[in-house]
Amino acid sequence: MLPGSAQTVKEVLRPTVTVSDLDRVLPFYTQTLPFELVGIQDIPIAVIRELFGVKNAGATARIATLRLGNETLDLLDFGKPETGAVIPADSRSNDRWFQHVAIVVSDIDKAYSLLRQHKVAHVSSSPQTLPAYISAAAGVKAFYFRDPDGHVLELISFPAGKGKPNWQPTGSQEADRLFLGIDHTAIGSADTDSSLAFYRDVLGLKISGSSENYGPEQEHLNQVFGAHLLITGLTAGAGPGVELLDYLTPPGGRPYPASSHVNDLWHWHTTLLISQLDTVFRIIQQKKYSMISPGIVPISYPGIPARRGLLVRDPDGHVLLLCE
């Protein structure tokens, strides 16, 4: 966190993921999954050129904002340039470009049954219940699956005493809801300490918890044989959390591709509303974190309550939109 300052991050606003064809992918989120479409907007050319660093003449992009419970998710579709690189067919959960959002459900077996009716692509073999020896996550149930572009999503349900209080339904109406909202976005990390130097020490996110996960249930969840990972939860106190996934074993997770662009399908960015953007930018420059935008630029970004921002990569290559 910035020395002598209040917390820099005010809120984690939303994750955004690049999709190949909004018209094709959107029904998956609004029909297979019950996201509500808030709206679809064109992104101003100045934002495409300056914030996203896309210099193509006549570049176009549109964004669909979706809501589930109190959280939102954006789908970003570039018309020109068209979709870049696709997610590798052999992509695994310990590759460093891995990112997902965790969708909270009240009954994972019922939610999984609905997904099977729509023949969704599995990552996990089936929903997994994490065992008692993983004390921080004991009783948590989870299932990984893919959207039509290959992005990984997670269903997650929390037993009593785990997760945020709002994931524990109170009252008959709440108890009847199956899909509740977005708990967090999780990202691959090569080294937890290096990631914390960025997310905690520069941006001011706070550690909300940690867990060391391993065993057959974790292997079936991630589909990574020998999976043994350190999970660190981060929070701004408002909005979804951010989880760091640091695989201790097995070795061989591939790095985030160096020549990545915002129209590649492995591109996600997480939007953070922050204070002291000028100071944060100076620290980012001093510590030589990679930037996509040339610096702080004016933004008129659909649904974002901010007037300026920048796109920066974390130590592993994951992208964040910092805005003020």
Rounded to whole angstroms, the Cα distance separating 228 from 145 reads: 20
pLDDT at 41 over 60: yes
Whose CA is closest to 147, among 242, 35, 40? 35
Helix (H) or strand (E) holding 199: helix 192-199
pLDDT digit string, tens, across residues 235-251: 999 999 999 999 999 99
Domain 99-249 has CATH 3.30.1330.30: no
Dihedral (CA of 133, 134, 139, 142) sign? negative
When pLDDT is cut at 50, 70 and 90, the band that residue 300 belongs to is confident
User: The dihedral of CA 132, 136, 139, 143: what is its sign?
Assistant: negative
The Cα 153–Cα 137 span in angstroms is 19
* The pLDDT value given to residue 171: 61
Q: In this structure, what are the phi and psi dihedrals at residue 28, rounded to the nearest 5 degrees?
A: -60, -40
295 — alpha (psi -120 to 50), left (phi > 0) or beta? left
**Tens digits of per-residue pLDDT, 119-174?**
999 999 999 999 999 999 999 999 999 999 999 999 999 999 999 999 987 765 55
What are the tens digits of pLDDT across the range 50-99? 999 998 888 999 999 999 999 999 999 999 889 999 999 999 999 999 99
pLDDT tens digits for range 104-123: 999 999 999 999 999 999 99
Residues carrying CATH 3.10.180.10, the chain: 9-86+260-323, 99-249
Amino acid 316: pLDDT: 98
- Three-class SS state of 71: strand
Write down the mean pLDDT value for the chain.
94
Rounded mean pLDDT, 286-296: 97
Q: Find the range with the poorest average confidence among 6-10, 149-153, 182-186, 260-264.
A: 6-10
The backbone region for 276, taken as left when phi is positive above 0, alpha when psi lies in -120 to 50, beta otherwise, is left
pLDDT at 174: 56
pLDDT, average across residues 269-275: 97
State what percent of residues in the chain have pLDDT above 70.
Answer: 96
**What CATH class is the domain 9-86+260-323?**
alpha beta
Least confident span in 2-16, 180-194, 271-285:
2-16
- Residue 273 confidence (pLDDT): 97
User: What is the per-residue pLDDT across 164-210, written as a single tens digit (0 to 9) for each?
Assistant: 999 987 765 555 799 999 999 999 999 999 999 999 999 999 999 99
